[in-house]
Amino acid sequence: MQDFLKQTLSGEPPEQRSGRNDQLSWQWLDEGILEMTPLNASSQALVISAGVHGNETAPVEILNELVGQLLRGEKPLLPRLMVIYGNPSALRVNKRYLRCDINRMFGGRWQQYEDCPEARRAWRLEQAMETFWQVGCHEETRWHLDMHTAIRGSYHARFGVMPLRETPWPQDFLHWLASAGLEALVFHRAPGGTFTHYSCRHFSASSCTLELGKALPFGSNDLAQFSAAQQSLAAILFGEALPEVTAPPRCYRVSQQITRRTEAFILHMSGETLNFTAFPQGTLLAEDGDTRFYVQQAREYVMFPNPNVALGQRAGLMLVEDNAHNDALGSER
C-alpha cells in the first residue's frame, strides 16, 4: 500500500493488510486506520488524526504525504504511530459529516445518538485508540494530534484547542505546538465530546485539536501555508529538526459557552465574524427564548460561532486571555 488516502477513499479494504520495509512494519486495522511500528524500540506512542470533519482536507493531504514517505521506506519512524482518517464517508463527499458531528460523540457520548454512521465510527475509533495504547509499555509518552481546519476565517490563522486536563501540560508538548506555527492556544475548563478530550481524559495523553486554516475541498489547498506544521510533524515522526519558534502563541481560556437549545435561537453575529473577534463587556451575544447571553468579562473573544448547529450543541465559545499561560510561555523565549 503506497497511498493510504487513495486506498481509504476507495471504500475497499487493501489487498495486502500488513507489510514491512527497512524502517517499520505496518498494519491496516480498518477503514482509515493504519498502525505503524518502528523496527527499533520507542518510548513514544503517537496518534495523528485528520478528516474527523470530511470537508477539512488540508490536514489530510499533509498527513498523507508524510505517511507515504514512511510506507515507501524513505524515512525512519521514531514513535509507535497510529494514523486515523476520522470520517472517510464524509471525506468522499466533501461534507463536514453525513448525519451528526462525530467530534461531539467521544467518551461514550455516541450512545446518546440515534444509530448513524458517525456514532458507529466514534465507537470504532475509541476501540482502536484504546487497543493501540494498551499494547504499549506504561512508560510510553502518549501524544494525540487531531488536525482540523476551521469553517470561517480567524484573527489567528492557526491555533490549538486544548482539552480539560487536571495536571500541567508537558513543556515539550507546548514547545512542539509553538514550533508548528500555532498563533494561539485555547484551554478548555470543562469536559467535552471531542476526540482530544477522550484521549486526554481516558489515556492521559497530551492532546490538542490543531486548527490549521480554512476548510477547502481536496485540490484547493495551498499546502505551503502549512509548512511549519508539516515540518514539526516530520520532526516528531522522522527525527528531523523542529522549526524555530519566532513568537510564543497567545493563550486563552474558555469563559462561557453559547448553546442553542431551541429553534428560536438567534446569534447576534454576522456570518463574516472571524474567530477571536473581541466584544466589550455587556454586549448581547445571543438569545434563545427567555435566555440571553452577554459578554461577562471586560473583553471576551468568540470562537467557532455557528447558529446552525443542532439543538443542544454549542453555537460558540467565548474566551478571555489566559495571563498565567501567556506569562509561562513568554518566559521560555
Contact 82, 34 (CB under 8 A): yes
**Nearest in space to 6 (alpha carbons), one of 32, 36, 34, 38:** 32
- Burial category of 91 from C-beta neighbours within 10 Å (exposed 0-12, middle 13-18, buried 19 and up): buried
β pairing state of 206-214 and 141-150: parallel
Kindly state the DSSP code that residue 102 receives in the 8-state scheme.
Answer: G
Residue 31 labelled as part of a binding site: no
Residue 15 labelled as part of a binding site: no
CA 209 to chain centre: 3
Cell numbers given for 163:
482539552
**Nearest in space to 289 (alpha carbons), one of 252, 261, 330, 324:** 261
Cell numbers given for 34:
493504519
Largest CA distance in the chain: 65
- Burial category of 238 from C-beta neighbours within 10 Å (exposed 0-12, middle 13-18, buried 19 and up): middle
Looking at 35, 118, 126, 211, which residue is catalytic?
A: 211
Spell out the residues 6+ positions from residue 192 whose beta carbon is closer than 8 angstroms to its own: 104, 163, 164
Q: Would you call 126 a catalytic residue per the annotation?
A: no
CA atoms of 98 and 78, how far apart (whole Å): 36
**Nearest in space to 85 (alpha carbons), one of 67, 99, 71:** 67
Q: Three-class SS of residue 267?
A: strand
Residue 188 labelled as part of a binding site: no
Give the annotated binding-site residues: 53, 56, 148
Give the annotated binding-site residues for Zn(2+): 53, 56, 148
Catalytic residues: 211
